[in-house]
Chains A and B, each alone.
Chain A
Amino acid sequence: MKSKDSVKKEPLISGHKINKYYGKIHALKDLDFEVYPGEILGLIGDNGAGKSTLIKIISGVIPKNSGQICWKGKEVNISSVKQARNLGIETVYQDRAVVGCLSVAQNIFLGREPVFSWGPFKFLNKKKMYQETSKLAHNLKLNIPSPDQEVRFCSGGEMQGTAISRAMYFKAELVVLDEPTTALAISGVQKVLAFVEQLKKENIASIFVTHNLHHVYAAADRFLVMAQGGKVAEAKKEEIDVEGLTNLQLRKNEENISN
């Protein structure tokens, strides 16, 4: 069901016949997918549909068993988180990938801190970290009093914002958002949706993984519905409404039960 303009463009990332086994469990079955530059793909499906497995493969946490992944048309082998980051793939894991006892600035730059050299030694460029964090917080309308604010005092939405700031600062081209709204209060959800909107404005593509159809419907341009490790349907936002998505998800489940 691809529309004409998305066919014209080359996908940013695409997967072909991807398989993943956990022992005897066939978690991904010949899955095909693609994400185009600057679009928000809603990846939906019930628990156990294979969503997490797919994004773990994309972000380099686990390897696939077979199939191929292409990044900007070239086949790549994403074997580590570092490699995914080097390609430009950043993953936001709910509020799990922040360190509470470190400041917002330290969290954004963790592992990739700007440094200045003094002879053979490298020291943190704290001033730059502080300034860049202020800028990012301003752009994203993060509600933090200062970049020195410890993350454990942040609300759930702010924590996601911290993680999303990383993607923006390090010029990611694809951001994978793993259940970004699940653990949040309503205000937090709106905040995260605004963050995702901001990513789109900066022409950063994202994969929005969730089972909350209402949240994803508000944000996404296109949807990929998964069940039992395979693709159930793909649809553009214009072609389907929330009810339609719900039915797709439910129907597949019922089929599985009746089978």
Chain B
Amino acid sequence: MKIPEKLQLTLVEYLIWVIIIITFIIFSLTIPRYFTLKNILFILYVAAPLGFLVFGESVALLTGNMDLSLAQNAGLSAMLVGVILVDWAPWLPGWFGIVLIVLVGALLGAINGFFIGKLDINPFLITLSTFLMFDWATYYLRRGAIVNVPKALLVAGGGRIGLIYNAILILLGITVFLYILLEHTRFGNAIRSTGGNPQASAMLGINVGIVNFWTFTLGGALAGVSGLLYIGYLKCIPSTIADGAIFLAFAGAIIGGVSLKGGRGSIIGALGGVILIGVIDAGCTMTAIDPALRGILNGFVLLIAILINRSRDSLRDHILMPKIRTEVRIKK
């Protein structure tokens, strides 16, 4: 029996979810109390701050760029807003901090966007330099941690409604927003075409520089949200906040099937990448595995994902190909 083409394509397209389910089942069978609603919610809750970095990285990759500075952006946004609310202007209302942190993130992203979009400088070089600047600026603002964080800043990343953490709702809400933005708007099409073929896009009247600028600004805003969720998760703002998360942000996007070559990938896939990392992370935590081994495992999962995605792409091409092949045969 032949599996219908549409189903085949859907399976290939959403392969990441199949992998998540398999991984989840394996953990559920081997770890007691892994398969509980509480644990599932906790997995999502822990993965949410990283999720926004993965989303930011995904949109950057979709335009054919990359952003090394996202995690440091999240850290600096969090620290700057923390210092403003605690030391510089304690009279500011707490909710204002939530708005401010997203704005600061967007602004830091816009700096990258300006150099990459307007001056057409290599994104690796620009975001490497902003990575260093953001990283050390965070450390310069505060060596150590802000512990008396205003309550309003903790609600987003730490609060919950009933069983559901706010962070999960925010993550899913933004997933829907990004999905609509990428799949159902002109800007989304422009992002993909810029990543797929910048020269052709420019010839067709798409302002590639502007698209890049706004993509990095959007990525920055997402990093700001990530910073906000890290604050709520950690209940404080350490100067090492989100350190090293950039590697997992790349990993999540790649595991989710976003292509480094630009133009290809989906936000739903990226969400899958985040969740897979979360599922594995929780499994490691609950078995109290050596953190070093956990790090190695993450790298191993990335390697497997790269290999799977490669064969996934050719499988996808293979499913789509035959129709054209017959035409070629007639031609020859």
Task: Say whether B132 faces chain A, with CB atoms less than 8 Å apart.
Answer: no
Residues in chain B within 8 A of chain A (CB atoms): 180, 184-186, 188-190, 192-193, 195-197, 199-201, 203-206, 263-264, 317, 320-321, 323-324, 327-328, 331
Q: Which of B184, B193, B320, B327 contacts A99 (CB 8 A)?
A: B193
Within 8 A of B (CB), among A127-173: 143, 145, 149-150, 153-155
Per the bound structure, the CA–CA distance linking A99 and B193 in Å amounts to 6
Per the bound structure, the CA–CA distance linking A88 and B143 in Å amounts to 62
Asked if A97 and B200 make an inter-chain contact with CB atoms under 8 angstroms apart, the answer reads yes
Asked if A111 and B197 make an inter-chain contact with CB atoms under 8 angstroms apart, the answer reads no
Per the bound structure, the CA–CA distance linking A122 and B331 in Å amounts to 42
Provide the residues of chain A in CB contact with B327, threshold 8 Å: 143, 155
Question: Min CB distance, A152 to chain B, in Å?
Answer: 9
With A123-B185, A155-B327, A185-B331 known as contacts, the answer to whether A99 contacts B192 (CB < 8 A) is yes
Grouping DSSP codes into helix (H, G, I), strand (E, B) and loop, the A interface class, with mixed when no group exceeds half, is loop
In the complex, the chain A residue whose C-beta lies closest to that of B188 is A124
With A99-B200, A100-B196 known as contacts, the answer to whether A81 contacts B205 (CB < 8 A) is yes
In the complex, the chain A residue whose C-beta lies closest to that of B187 is A122
Question: Min CB distance, A15 to chain B, in Å?
Answer: 22
Asked if B186 and A153 make an inter-chain contact with CB atoms under 8 angstroms apart, the answer reads no
Provide the residues of chain B in CB contact with A85, threshold 8 Å: 205
Provide the residues of chain A in CB contact with B203, threshold 8 Å: 61, 81, 91, 93, 96-97
| Contacts beyond the supplied A102-B192, A122-B185: 11 A-B pairs with Cβ under 8 Å | A61-B203, A80-B205, A85-B205, A96-B199, A97-B200, A101-B195, A101-B197, A110-B206, A124-B189, A143-B327, A187-B331
Provide the residues of chain A in CB contact with B195, threshold 8 Å: 101
Asked if B323 and A145 make an inter-chain contact with CB atoms under 8 angstroms apart, the answer reads yes
Per the bound structure, the CA–CA distance linking A81 and B196 in Å amounts to 20
Q: Which of A97, A99, A122, A154 contacts B186 (CB 8 A)?
A: A122
Question: Min CB distance, A258 to chain B, in Å?
Answer: 39
Asked if A113 and B320 make an inter-chain contact with CB atoms under 8 angstroms apart, the answer reads no
Per the bound structure, the CA–CA distance linking A91 and B202 in Å amounts to 13
Considering only CB atoms and an 8 Å cut-off, how many residues of chain A contact the other chain? 34
Per the bound structure, the CA–CA distance linking A101 and B186 in Å amounts to 16
Question: Min CB distance, A194 to chain B, in Å?
Answer: 14
Asked if B184 and A98 make an inter-chain contact with CB atoms under 8 angstroms apart, the answer reads no
Per the bound structure, the CA–CA distance linking A98 and B204 in Å amounts to 9
Task: Say whether A82 faces chain B, with CB atoms less than 8 Å apart.
Answer: yes
Q: Which of A81, A98, A153 contacts B197 (CB 8 A)?
A: A98
Provide the residues of chain A in CB contact with B193, threshold 8 Å: 99, 102, 106, 110
Question: Min CB distance, B182 to chain A, in Å?
Answer: 11
Q: Which of A97, A101, A110, A122 contacts B264 (CB 8 A)?
A: A101
Task: Say whether A250 faces chain B, with CB atoms less than 8 Å apart.
Answer: no
Q: Which of A80, A82, A102 contacts B189 (CB 8 A)?
A: A102
Question: Min CB distance, A121 to chain B, in Å?
Answer: 8
Asked if A99 and B331 make an inter-chain contact with CB atoms under 8 angstroms apart, the answer reads no
Asked if A153 and B331 make an inter-chain contact with CB atoms under 8 angstroms apart, the answer reads no
